[in-house]
């Protein structure tokens, strides 16, 4: 962090979602709570109890308010997730335990309450009952809120945000980002994170400018300051001077004009100068993304991350609810198709209600298809819903995180059993569908030729493919410099998959974040990728890039860069091509 003259504070991080925005800083401090260990006298016990009761009351009111807000925005069913939080607030045994310890330990209510709530949560976690284990997360969540009230800290809930809020937080889980008030939040900044963390991906999808990797900024800044966030350069300026605000205002204007110009490409196709077409489709996480599909000119949905339907709730969506949601997604993509990626929970997409224990290496652990093959009940319900929603439509089903041939065979076997069941039950279901697999684990990419005869398509998940090939945690800003999409190994893996696909007449897409980066369009085009799927906001830019390039020239470019040994050299070549053909997109 560097302080500039005139009281401006410049913070530099990693730009993850483009756009320049100016607003008021809102520091979210939910993650870390320092709890004072203050001794008290016997005479103070009554006062401490009164303080705690007041905090409980405030917490109860806040939860009811959130519930009310959520039931009008996302429906009563989802808002009911806070019922469990209310139960914690109203739990008299918790209060009794605190009172007892106030007397026996003579320490302040904050400290006593904190330790008792941690112990409660811990004992819940240890019980051999998935339901009770899940309650541990509720206890921790609600006790954070109670402590914030007790210590007088403002726990900023999304619903209390003012207009033009720029959020600064230590971290934001994808589930937090999913509940942000899109009308009020115009920028996101976090201490942690990297380009391919799911929060960054969502910010891009929602067109919210974002900067991550700001180290410890959230601990040093206070809410209320004026702030400029530059999502192109990864800069956050607190207390900008008039001159700085003016300059950024002009930059905003310039980018706005460019976006308006790009908007006109909506109805055009991504066809190169030498007439080679690439399909451009959209990635979808939240229902809100659906409205953007038509606006962006996407040719279908190349990745629907179904796991977001399972987040921020305590119950699992049943078959009917899933059918209803999936039908909406199919409708939004019409007349084009949707790739339904089956549940990909785990990693940084933590879903509280699914019994996934804390793991030492969540990205290498029990996630995605590994979870689904073990929890066949959940997997089958989802597959039934997808197949039923797809009755009389053309749909695509794709399995994530497959690392072995056997996993693909097992997943396809379960899909077939679901289709047989639906047939026996005479329930209408899809008959026109394709089955594909994500190529995001290097082991599968290496045996792509073995996989091709068993799938209709493959989609390369570069976010994970890079993470696993280069041994770089995709969410860790400390090693972000090693996260290199242009690493020669990545180039080789993509080439291997595309070539194997084309030999076997199977089309190949890219649905990781590489697909939306215009710097990398020459690379993916030259490698022969058939489809690029990205956050809707990025589609016009990539369309323009493809339209300005020549496919044959890009094929030749690949032959040249295949001989290079470093990511930096390859990137330099690509930068040259990109700034020659579409300088206005390279900021
Ligand atoms: C990927 O890994 O590239 C991908 C598209 O999936 P996700 O980002 O959801 O892991
Ligand atoms: Mg992935």
Distance in Å, CA 400 to ligand 1 centroid: 8
Per-residue pLDDT, 134: 67
Q: Which residue's C-alpha comes closest to atom 1 of ligand 1?
A: 461
Q: Is 461 in the pocket of ligand 1 (CB under 6 A)?
A: yes
Which long-range CB contacts under 8 A does 357-363 form with residues at least 24 apart? 357/133, 363/464, 363/467, 363/473, 363/474
d(C-alpha 64, C-alpha 365), whole Å: 36
Per-position DSSP letters for 220-274, written without gaps between them: H--TT-EEEEETTTTEEEES--HHHHHHHHHHHHHHHHHHHHHHTTTTS-EE-TT
37-53 residue pLDDT tens:
678 889 999 999 998 98
d(C-alpha 140, C-alpha 486), whole Å: 41
Per-residue pLDDT, 255: 87
Instruction: Give the position, in ligand 1's atom list, of the atom nearest the Cα of 464.
Output: 2
Per-residue pLDDT, 155: 46
Per-residue pLDDT, 13: 93
Active site residues: 198, 511
Distance in Å, CA 274 to ligand 2 centroid: 33
Q: Is 289 in the pocket of ligand 1 (CB under 6 A)?
A: no
SS3 state of residue 464 = helix
Q: Is 344 in the pocket of ligand 1 (CB under 6 A)?
A: yes
341 sits in which H/E element: strand 338-341
Distance in Å, CA 463 to ligand 1 centroid: 5
3-class SS string, 114-136: HHHHHHHHHHHHHCCCHHHHHHH
Distance in Å, CA 513 to ligand 1 centroid: 8
Q: Is there a contact between 444 and 403 (Cβ–Cβ < 8 Å)?
A: yes
6-21 residue pLDDT tens:
689 999 999 999 899 9
pTM, two decimals, is 0.77
Distance in Å, CA 14 to ligand 1 centroid: 19
Q: Which residue's C-alpha comes closest to atom 9 of ligand 1?
A: 305
Per-residue pLDDT, 2: 37
Q: Which of 174, 286, 305 maximizes ligand 1 atoms within 8 Å of its Cβ, making it the mutation to test the pocket?
A: 305
Q: Is 511 in the pocket of ligand 1 (CB under 6 A)?
A: yes
Q: Is 174 in the pocket of ligand 1 (CB under 6 A)?
A: no
Instruction: Give the position, in ligand 1's atom list, of the atom nearest the Cα of 512.
Output: 3
Strand bridging mode 2-3 / 9-12: antiparallel
The 10 Å Cβ neighbour count of residue 8 is: 17
Among 396, 394, 344, 430, which residue's Cα sits nearest to residue 531? 396
Q: Is 485 in the pocket of ligand 1 (CB under 6 A)?
A: no
Q: Is 440 in the pocket of ligand 1 (CB under 6 A)?
A: yes
Q: Is 533 in the pocket of ligand 1 (CB under 6 A)?
A: no
Residues of the chain with pLDDT under 70: 1-6, 29-37, 69-81, 125, 131, 133-134, 137, 152-160, 175, 313-314, 352-353
Instruction: Give the position, in ligand 1's atom list, of the atom nearest the Cα of 344.
Output: 9
Q: Which of 400, 445, 532 maximizes ligand 1 atoms within 8 Å of its Cβ, making it the mutation to test the pocket?
A: 400
Q: Which of 512, 533, 534 maximizes ligand 1 atoms within 8 Å of its Cβ, making it the mutation to test the pocket?
A: 512
Per-residue pLDDT, 105: 83
Distance in Å, CA 198 to ligand 2 centroid: 10
Distance in Å, CA 242 to ligand 2 centroid: 43
Q: Which residue's C-alpha comes closest to atom 3 of ligand 1?
A: 461
Give residue 194's Cα distance to chain centre.
11
Q: Which ligand is nearest to the CA of 198?
A: 1
Instruction: Give the position, in ligand 1's atom list, of the atom nearest the Cα of 196.
Output: 8
d(C-alpha 196, C-alpha 476), whole Å: 10
325-337 residue pLDDT tens:
999 999 999 999 9
């Amino acid at each position: 962090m560097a302080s500039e003259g005139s009281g401006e504070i410049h913070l530099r991080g990693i730009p993850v979602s483009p756009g320049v925005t100016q607003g008021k800083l809102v520091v979210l401090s939910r993650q870390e709570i320092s709890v004072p260990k203050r001794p008290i006298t016997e005479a103070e016990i009554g006062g401490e109890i009164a303080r705690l009761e007041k905090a409980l009351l405030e917490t109860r009111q806040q939860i009811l308010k959130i519930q009310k807000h959520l039931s009008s925005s996302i429906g009563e069913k989802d808002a009911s997730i806070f019922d469990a939080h209310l139960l914690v607030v109203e739990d008299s045994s918790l209060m009794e335990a605190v009172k007892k310890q106030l007397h026996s330990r003579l320490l302040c209510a904050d400290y006593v309450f904190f330790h008792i709530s941690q112990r409660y949560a811990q004992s819940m976690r240890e019980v051999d009952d998935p339901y009770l284990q899940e309650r541990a997360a509720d206890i921790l969540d609600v006790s954070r809120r109670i402590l914030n009230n007790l210590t007088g800290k403002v726990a900023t809930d999304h619903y209390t945000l003012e207009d033009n809020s720029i959020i600064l937080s230590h971290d934001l889980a994808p589930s937090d980002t999913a509940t942000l008030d899109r009308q009020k939040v115009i920028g996101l900044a976090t201490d942690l994170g990297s380009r391919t963390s799911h929060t960054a991906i969502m910010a891009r999808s929602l067109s919210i400018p974002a900067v991550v990797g700001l180290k410890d900024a959230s601990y040093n800044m206070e809410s209320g300051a004026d702030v400029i966030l530059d999502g192109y350069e990864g800069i956050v300026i607190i207390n900008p001077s008039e001159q700085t605000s003016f300059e950024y205002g002009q930059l905003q204007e310039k980018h706005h004009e460019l976006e308006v110009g790009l908007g006109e490409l909506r109805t055009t196709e991504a066809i190169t100068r030498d007439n080679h077409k690439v399909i451009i489709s959209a990635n979808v996480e939240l229902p809100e993304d659906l409205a953007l599909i038509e606006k962006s000119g996407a040719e279908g949905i190349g990745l629907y991350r179904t796991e977001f339907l399972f987040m921020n709730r305590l119950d699992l969506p049943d078959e009917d609810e899933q059918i209803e949601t999936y039908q909406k997604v199919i409708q939004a993509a019409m007349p084009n198709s949707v790739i339904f990626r089956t549940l990909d929970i785990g990693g940084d997409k933590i879903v509280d209600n699914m019994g996934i224990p804390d793991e030492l290496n969540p990205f290498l652990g029990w996630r995605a298809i590994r979870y689904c093959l073990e929890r066949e009940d959940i997997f089958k319900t989802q597959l039934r819903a997808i197949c039923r929603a797809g009755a009389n439509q053309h749909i695509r089903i794709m399995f994530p995180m497959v690392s072995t041939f056997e996993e693909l065979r097992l997943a396809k076997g379960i899909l077939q059993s679901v289709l047989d069941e639906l047939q026996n039950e005479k329930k209408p279901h899809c008959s026109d569908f394709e089955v594909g697999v994500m190529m995001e684990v290097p082991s599968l990419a290496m045996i792509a030729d073995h996989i091709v005869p068993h799938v209709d398509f493959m989609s390369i998940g570069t976010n994970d493919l890079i993470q696993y090939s280069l041994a770089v945690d995709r969410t860790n800003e400390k090693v972000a410099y090693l996260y290199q999409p242009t690493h020669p190994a990545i180039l080789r893996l993509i080439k291997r998959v595309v070539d194997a696909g084309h030999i076997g007449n199977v089309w190949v897409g890219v649905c990781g974040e590489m697909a939306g980066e215009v710097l990398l369009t020459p690379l993916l085009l030259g490698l022969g990728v058939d489809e690029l799927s990205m956050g809707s906001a990025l589609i016009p830019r990539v369309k323009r890039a493809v339209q300005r390039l020549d496919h044959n020239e890009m094929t030749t470019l690949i032959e040249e860069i295949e001989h290079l040994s470093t990511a930096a050299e390859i990137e330099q070549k690509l930068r040259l091509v990109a700034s020659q053909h579409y300088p206005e997109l390279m900021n």
